[in-house]
Amino acid sequence: MHFGIALGSNLGDRGENLRRGIALLLERVPGIQLKASAAVYETEPVDCAPGTQAFLNTVIEIEADCLPQDLHTHLKAIEAALGRPEQRERNSPRTLDLDLLYADAVVSDDPELILPHPRLHLRRFVLQPLADIRPDLILPGQTQTNAELLAGLGD
């Protein structure tokens, strides 16, 4: 199964946090293969407290023989291993944020794991790197490609 994962960091050594997150993912998930990796973008924080440091964001696509729920569990464990508390304020600064964006054509409305990610089509900091690696992908529930969704976003 192919999975898209968004990575973001705005605390500490942001670039190293992204690298460590990917390395831990490749170590922990059985049978994983990194299929694509987008450029890293520095982006202004969205809906965060004033004075919040800019984020580094990217998107990777992996292939792995696991269920989306299992991968989600790995992502949360990696966030915790890199210092992200389980209980935190929404949109608070973070060493590493890992969001599962999609899992092939899987659609899930489970509150623990909504797929595809419900706001990815509204967020330039996710769509830009996603369109870098999968411009022609049309996600479930969408009628436009990632590149078309990106082009339609305002400033």
Q: What is the CATH number of the domain that holds 128?
A: 3.30.70.560
**Residue type for position 138:** I
Return the SS3 of 155: coil
Average pLDDT rounded to a whole number, residues 30-59: 89
Average pLDDT rounded to a whole number, residues 95-109: 95
- Chain CA centroid to CA 144, Å: 20
Predicted confidence at residue 83, as pLDDT, reads 85
Predicted confidence at residue 86, as pLDDT, reads 65
Q: Band the pLDDT of 51: cuts 50, 70, 90.
A: confident
Whether pLDDT at 125 is above 70? yes
Q: Band the pLDDT of 93: cuts 50, 70, 90.
A: confident
Taking residue 16's Cβ as centre, other Cβ atoms within 10 Å add up to 13
- Chain CA centroid to CA 65, Å: 19
Tokens of 117: 């990610």
Number of domains in the chain: 1
**Residue type for position 23:** A
Instruction: Find the domain containing 34 and state its range.
Output: 2-152
Return the SS3 of 41: strand
Whether pLDDT at 55 is above 90? yes
Q: Band the pLDDT of 45: cuts 50, 70, 90.
A: confident
Predicted confidence at residue 90, as pLDDT, reads 58
Average pLDDT, the chain: 91
Predicted confidence at residue 52, as pLDDT, reads 79
What are the residues facing 34 on neighbouring strands?
62
Average pLDDT rounded to a whole number, residues 75-104: 83
Angle, CA of 89, 130 and 16, to the nearest 5° = 60
Average pLDDT rounded to a whole number, residues 128-141: 96
Tell me: cis bond preceding 116? Omega within 30 of 0 counts: yes
Predicted confidence at residue 155, as pLDDT, reads 64
Average pLDDT rounded to a whole number, residues 106-133: 94
| H/E stretch holding 103 | strand 97-103
What are the residues facing 57 on neighbouring strands?
8, 41
| H/E stretch holding 124 | helix 124-133
Whether pLDDT at 41 is above 80? yes
Handedness of CA 95, 101, 106, 110 (dihedral sign): positive
Whether pLDDT at 119 is above 70? yes
